[in-house]
Chain A
Amino acid sequence: MGLQGKAALVGVADYKNERKYTGKRKFYLEQWAELTQMALADAGLSKDDIDGICCSSIPESDLFAPATIAEYLGLKVNFAEMVDLGGASSVSMIWRAAAAIELGICEAVVCAAPGIPIPSNPNRGPRDPNRFYGSTSANWGSPQTEFDVPYGNVAQNVGYALIAQRYAETYGYDERALAKIAVDQRTNAQGNPKAVFYGQPITVDDVLQSKMVADPLHVLEIVMPCAGGSACIVVSERLARKCKHRPVFITGCGEHLTTRSVTYAEDMTVSPVGPAATSAFNMSGKKPNDIDVLQAYDCYTITVLLTMEDAGFCGKGEGISFVNENSLTFDGSFPVNTHGGQLGAGQAAGMAGGMSQPVEGVRQVMGRADGRQVKDCNTALITGTGGIMSEQSAIILEGA
């Protein structure tokens, strides 16, 4: 049952993250073509090898995104999937690709997440005021429209602050430990020239003195939106042997979600990371102790804390002491988000932030992470989180 570890990540590509994008604007379709070309070159494969695509929504086409992408890129595919799991979409794209390959319906799947601004539309009408609600729906009939929005519980900051506040009351809180997550990841970003905060290390005091946005979340505990985008290619064992780099096999996966609004979560302090990571560990036969690097979706510091606890790297409620006792830097005792994570490298628009974690995991296991390489890195756990700790997915990567 489950993945047999017979599909591998063999190529990755990403844009440099930029806070204020000054380059040429590109449609998502154009970015899909460019990122695919870059990832194919990285793998040493050609366009004709691709027979599957996994995407998320694209602004050019509300419906029929996979067919639009296939047509634009001139691909003939036997597997076309659109994943709608917010920040968890990228990790979920990858395990779906692996599953489709193991089923034998395709042999090479490109998964991409563009996030560079599209060209301005000269015929644009008035801007939708509901854009300020972030991912919270304001559509007629949506429970969020009716029971979240009227109370100002919109976008992401509020929900994660509610989780952190409840966590503090239940298990105790050490704001310096939470800040240290942002600091260690920022240290990691100093080894990643594509990070928005490259060349800008910070201290715990910097975090605690930064603006309190939604108590207890400081602005430096919240991702910085930016332009960027990345992609990866998943292939069969047969094709993996033809590729340029060490193949990175997907040996376990899991997915879990229950609610859209965290208000209704059974316990706000227990995230869906648990069931997703447990599934991935069981499938791969690995344990938390076997993991050389954790690339954890990190929209907020509290997200990383809950992920470490619920994935089993420490006990429930022990995350704060775990952070205090470990260094999360690439050369530390427990490396996390070695590219800086989204806190340190920026959260590229669209669904691209969540693709940065698997791309970095692949680079680490391939041994291509340059100045931030984790020593003897063979096994990685990658998590994706969507909504307000809502959708969750996890994969385990192992080098051949």
Chain B
Amino acid sequence: MRPTVRGQALFALAVAAVAAWSLAPFLWQAITSLKPAAEVAAVPVRYWPSTLDFSSYAQVFEARPFATYIWNSVVVGLGTTALTTVLGVCAAYAFSRLGLPGGRAALIGILGLSLFPGTVLIVPLKMLAAKAGLLNTRSGLVIAYTALNLPFAIWVLKAFFDRLPKDVEEAAWLDGLSRWQTLWKIVLPLSAPAVATTAILVFIFSWNEFLIAQTLVSRDAARTVPVGIAMLSGVTVYEVPWGQIAAAVVVTTLPVVAIVLAFQRRIVEGLTAGAVKG
């Protein structure tokens, strides 16, 4: 079948439409964030600012503890990513290679557990966090996120380990390396792509999480960005600072957009491995 010019034009149009639809809400926030205050809520709607005005960005950082929220999100995100990856690698390796008795049942149990939405555990989780003194702390969030991301991490990493040829490890054992050394010195370097994929996805999940952050944290000191933005409001309900909100949305989402542009292939692979293998 030879593609005709008309066919190609239609195809290009379809691609453009899909891309425009995906980006539109984000672009509208970017445009809103760059408008001078008087034009943000202008009627009729202005589709382009008369001058590019960055004061919404200045305001959201000056008038609100927005920098603290970002810092908290970065700390929680990196902490969760590091902890989940290390624990996930060990567990996935054991499930893939070390013939755990009852391992298959445990894996299915983990998967089933991870399918339940956060609402199912949020009430007791808050009580447990209160008992452990982890309310309003970043460590509390890191612990909760690690546990909730581990099922995904274990499934993706196990799927990857399953595909690695066994003879490399057997050669390492012949050379006298222990299982533990084999994992860190031989298997892990070979698995760098899968580990990177897992880390990227875990960071995105943790950066985006709302329900647990909203429930376990009620003070600015440990509040993360999604909750901080959802709470941005004016003195009265009629005074929602849409320009500042738009600026905050752009600042929060830009790192994610950059990650997606840089790691599109890895993300697609990770999502497919995590979901379809289950």
A and B physically associate: no
Which residues does B use to contact A, with CB under 8 Å? none
